[in-house]
Amino acid sequence: MRADLATSYGEERLPRYTSYPTAPHFSPAIGEGAYAQWLAELPAAASASLYLHVPFCREMCWYCGCHTQIVRRDGLIAAYLRTLRSEIAQVSETIGRRIKVEHIHFGGGTPTIMAPEAFAELMAAMRQAFFVLPSAEIAVEIDPRTLTADMVEAMRLSGVNRASLGVQSFDPVVQRAINRVQSFEQTASVVDMLQRAGINGINFDLIYGLPHQTVASCLDTVRRSLELGPDRFSVFGYAHVPAFKKHQRMINEAVLPDGLARHDQACAIANALKEAGYVQIGLDHFARPDDSMAVAFEQRTLRRNFQGYTTDKGEVLLGFGASAIGHLPQGYVQNEVQIGAYAQSIAAGHLATAKGYGLTDDDRLRADIIERIMCEFSADLGDICARHGAEAGAMLKSASRLKPLISDGVVRLDGDRIAVAKDSRFLVRSVAAAFDAHLDPAKQLHSRAV
């Protein structure tokens, strides 16, 4: 990876492209009526993935960019889960049949904050409303500091087969600076509990660019994480956006690494994981060579959605809960962000859709190009444009941001095929952005490119 390019491009604020167009372009013009129509129009053979958002935590991690709130009373959580079950039933009724489900993902917040019996009830509600395939991947995001043995047992009985553990950093100085003190021993104990329960698909989430973080502390975190043997890693750069996430103001900006230091940390983590035998997947994932994600990467079937890189090949993602986003062939929908407004909509018998986006033919074309770039570091524009009835030459002409990237050696252009140079792959978001017709560089809505 070239440090000069990190300096040139690293400060630019760009989307992570978990969707295209990205969420800031969603509009209230797409509401409950559009979502209901889109659901009713789903083909008979369609299958779906489900995302359930549980927006509660026991304490706030200052780096967090999620829609969540701190709760002390379990009654609030129980009421929210009743609403969630009602929404699941409403969506299923609107579809008009028990659609097949291949993936379920619990996110947050801290999904395991709910009582074990409540988790079992929620899984039962989904199985009643949808046909959850026996082979379905059921994944849960976990805060190792609060997971209990009873919840692990509830997860086992409910068919959970993948767990994503938030680790971020094992450096106690960094942990104190982000208000997330989590010992190695806590994390190791949770991994042991999960594996004893037969939940063997284990992901670790790491973050670089945190306050006081150094290359040495990043490498120490990787070393200790490898002792626990997760089969996947997600490695994200900290997105410091205190204008949007006010709790991030608790972080001292003076001790945040600059763009070049972030670049060095990202390189060090990537190199250490690759030396340990993990395959680098796209922008920020790493997996064991025999893992299904590494296989999908090798076979060029890797996809990208709101959970990041995925093996999910489906075209339908149904989002449940406050702020949850769904993706259907017709476009995107997002629920009310505020829990109160979300609950009121569901209680009144309405879908909770607050905004969304109806895709155009040009959006679908650009979305395919951007997804291939993000997943494979390359895109055959001739092939993709032909499938959409478009001309590759016209697409290249419209991508004015591509010219300096080609001049700087970030991108190679061979006929209608573009490829990101191996030493420049950390700038893949910059390359994808060249095909983003909605991008407004003046609006600082996103995280830094490096």
Upper half-sphere CA count for residue 406 (Cβ side, 13 Å): 12
* Residue 337 in domain: no
Q: How far apart are CA 272 and CA 286, in angstroms?
A: 11
Number of Cβ within a 10 Å radius of residue 187: 21
For the chain, the C-alpha Rg in angstroms (whole number) is 21
Name the nearest CA neighbour of 382 among 432, 418, 409, 410: 418
**Tens digits of residue pLDDT in 146-187:** 999 999 999 999 999 999 999 999 999 999 999 999 999 999
Q: At residue 449, does pLDDT exceed 60?
A: no
Encoded tokens for 396: 């290249």
Residue at a domain's end among 320, 346, 381? 320
Element (H, E) at 104: strand 100-108
Residue at a domain's end among 289, 320, 351? 320
Q: Which residues of 57-71 are buried (b: 16+ CB within 10 A; e: fewer)?
A: beebbbbbbebbeeb
Q: How many domains does the chain have?
A: 2
| CATH code, domain with 399 | 1.10.10.920
Residue at a domain's end among 320, 350, 375? 320
Encoded tokens for 377: 């570091």
Q: What are phi and psi of 141, to 5 degrees?
A: -80, 135
* Residue 234 in domain: yes
Same domain assignment for residues 314 and 446:
no
* Residue 348 in domain: no
Same domain assignment for residues 250 and 365:
no
Residue 87 one-letter amino acid:
E
Report the pLDDT value the prediction gives residue 450, as an integer from 0 to 100. 54
**Tens digits of residue pLDDT in 277-315:** 999 998 899 999 999 999 999 999 999 998 889 999 888
Q: Is the pTM of this model over 0.85?
A: yes
**Tens digits of residue pLDDT in 321-348:** 999 999 999 999 999 999 999 999 999 9
Same domain assignment for residues 148 and 39:
yes
* Residue 48 in domain: yes
Same domain assignment for residues 10 and 49:
no
Same domain assignment for residues 69 and 9:
no
Element (H, E) at 35: helix 32-40
Under the banding of pLDDT at 50, 70 and 90, the label for residue 440 is confident
The DSSP string of 384-395 is HHHHTT--HHHH
Encoded tokens for 212: 């006081």
Q: At residue 441, does pLDDT exceed 70?
A: no
Q: What are phi and psi of 382, to 5 degrees?
A: -60, -50
Under the banding of pLDDT at 50, 70 and 90, the label for residue 125 is very high
Q: Lowest-pLDDT range, 28-32, 199-203, 307-311?
A: 307-311
Q: What are phi and psi of 293, to 5 degrees?
A: -70, -40
Under the banding of pLDDT at 50, 70 and 90, the label for residue 443 is low
Same domain assignment for residues 112 and 260:
yes
Category of 381 on φ-ψ map: left (φ > 0), alpha (ψ -120 to 50) or beta: alpha
The DSSP string of 398-450 is H-TTHHHHHHTTSEEEETTEEEE-GGGGGGHHHHHHTT-TT--TTS--SEE--
Q: At residue 446, does pLDDT exceed 80?
A: no
* Residue 413 in domain: yes
Report the pLDDT value the prediction gives residue 426, as an integer from 0 to 100. 84
Same domain assignment for residues 254 and 179:
yes
Report the pLDDT value the prediction gives residue 67, as an integer from 0 to 100. 86
Tell me the residue ranges of DSSP E strands in 330-374.
Answer: 331-335, 353-358
Q: How far apart are CA 265 and CA 237, in angstroms?
A: 9
* Residue 341 in domain: no
Tell me the residue ranges of DSSP E strands in 183-226.
Answer: 201-208
Q: What are phi and psi of 27, to 5 degrees?
A: -135, 145
Under the banding of pLDDT at 50, 70 and 90, the label for residue 1 is low
Say if residues 279 and 288 touch (Cβ distance below 8 Å): yes
Residue range 139-144: average pLDDT?
97
Q: How far apart are CA 400 and CA 439, in angstroms?
A: 12
Upper half-sphere CA count for residue 90 (Cβ side, 13 Å): 21
| CATH code, domain with 54 | 3.80.30.20
Share of the chain above pLDDT 90, in %: 86
Alpha helix stretches (DSSP H) within 41-179: 74-95, 116-129, 149-157, 172-177
Q: Which domain holds residue 432?
A: 1-20+361-450
Same domain assignment for residues 306 and 186:
yes
Same domain assignment for residues 173 and 151:
yes
Report the side by side order of strands in the sheet with 378-380. 378-380, 417-420, 411-414
Q: At residue 18, does pLDDT exceed 80?
A: yes
Same domain assignment for residues 3 and 35:
no
Number of Cβ within a 10 Å radius of residue 433: 24
Q: At residue 444, does pLDDT exceed 60?
A: no
Same domain assignment for residues 432 and 285:
no
Residue-averaged pLDDT of the chain? 94
Say if residues 13 and 449 touch (Cβ distance below 8 Å): yes
Same domain assignment for residues 291 and 438:
no
Q: How far apart are CA 57 and CA 68, in angstroms?
A: 7
**Tens digits of residue pLDDT in 62-117:** 999 888 999 988 999 999 999 999 999 999 999 999 999 999 999 999 999 999 99
